[in-house]
Structure 1
Amino acid sequence: MHDTEYKGINTQIRVAETRLFTRDDFEKMLRAEGLRGALDVLKGTDYYFDEQEVLHTKNFDQFLMTRLQTVYNELFQTTPNSEVIQIYTLRYSYHNLKVLLKQKVKEIDLEHLLIPIGKESISSLRNLVKTEQSEVLDPIMIEAVQLALDDYQTFERIEAIDVFMDTYYYKHIRAIADELDNPTISKVVDVMIDLDNLSTVIRSLNQNKSRSFMHTVLSSSGSIPKQTLIDAADQGKAALSELYLSQPYAKYLNEVFSDSRSDFNPMMIDLIIEEIINELMDEGKYQAFGPMPVVAYIFAVEREITNIRLILVGKDNQINEDIIRERMRPIYGS
């Protein structure tokens, strides 16, 4: 697909960007008097809600996810290649597969945990879990479900469902990135997988997990071979440091590896992933052609919703605005 085919949608994205929350908008929410005041800031925006109902139920996710679902539905209809949108929506699809698989093997009702976002309808995912076959879903997804169910039938390890879905999720977005052949998207996927693998290794080391455990839970779809990472983990912090500080995103990891303590803080890795991707999105959103303005816009909407949720929960629990501000994700355009 030619990058020029995104010219029309990228023009629409520029218009949509003007409706995104600015730093001033977030500051108004942060300085607002209580939850009601924060909700007042949202009135007249693209977030539609019944104020009295929200004040009563405190169910912020209902209207926030409705907004996100609307954005994705519109983009699926207007973006030349839907796989660009799937870079983000696949995580909801694989989340839904986790829910449906656990619901099947444990025979419990988990319907309330399903999220109706993604190219794959919940009915098609439900049918895949039921029959282990599908004529409409990607073969990667089909294989993931088949292997997860085979493993459960053999070992009855409910936790293995999460492992299979997580590793196949990364395998799936790697396949999409390779198909799109966009250098910025490839970098984003590298960062997501490589640093999530690092976070997993850190947690595994902190919990004294075995090599075989790491071989099972790590993704083989990143830029660093899984076996190389496991071998480095065996040798300790210095070997991991040498391995990761040779990567293109090394400058972000200096603080992690310069810590004099023998262990690591995996939470720091999660924040670094967002910091790196935020910088890549800042670069990509100004590309005149190609899919990056769309990808950057979705990133901005996802982070906007994360920040709004954080503020509303904080206001509801009377958390100091400075503490909420410290926990917020990067703001688009700031």
Structure 2
Amino acid sequence: MSDLDPPDHGEAWDITVVSEPFTTGSEDVGIAVGRLQARAREQDWDLVVGLTELPLHDHEGRHLLVQTDPEQRTAVLSLPALGGLRMHSRARRAVRSLVSGMANPEADEGHRVALPPVRGRWRLLMGMVLANRPWLLVPGLKSALVAALATGAVATVNSTVWVLANSLSWWRLVVATIASIALVVAWLVIDGELWDRPEDDSPRSRHRSRLYNASTLLTLMTGVLICYVALYVVNLAWALFVLDPDLMGGYLNARLGYGDLFVLAWFVASAATVGGGLGSGLESDEAIRAAAYSKREEDRRERLAGDPNPGRSAR
């Protein structure tokens, strides 16, 4: 927000940036705005814009992009609702627009921007997945990745693996890829206790859990897929370096070419993903927990439990 220009260039603005956990329940936009207003009064701020990674919703259950209260000069913006792509630039433009509108309350009667029911839900989900930064799962899976690389290096020079890879059709290889990634994702969810359960039987609570669980699964799938691709590339490079298809073909009494190395690396990547992923512990539980909105919510609650002023709002 340091590049935010005030609407009136003749005035100097003091901009304070605060990053804190929202207290529980702040997915409800009314609660979120109320807590921001309380913090503004506490700090004697003239204007406050809250940016949150939480998906906001109103009392009708609609997901929201933004809610403003020009009279109180307060606004809250849901970052995942921006869709994830070019989030920083979109957020800067949105904040400029909100500040300009609230700086001239007579020209802004306040507004609430709701997301489209279907397309907006997918946009929100994609924004939540990108907010989880699935590429950061790779360091958390480092031990599993190293184990998978070791497994793949040994399997690549195994004649039985060559025979199996050469006998598989392309659709079986696709099934093997999907199954290996799904098994590792399931293991991460179970081992990390990442599955969110509704707090009660209300439709809103069940919908929240479904949204959180969907974002967690997609985040984990993306992170594991990144590891899978890296594993495939390394296995392929290793196979191209150490193996001679003509020599292996003569040993197996089969006609093999360099194209078969791509198939071999594909099969080995699937087998090594399962063997390395399920047979190795996590390098960092925190990296895995960060993939789940529900776990980050637990972390926020733990932080607030030790906060001397738990009623304050934030981020």
TM range (shorter): under 0.3
Larger radius of gyration: 2
Q: In proportion to residue count, which structure has more strand? A: 2
Please, what TM-score do these two structures have when normalized by structure 2? 0.28
Normalising by structure 1, what TM-score? 0.26
| More helix, by proportion | 1
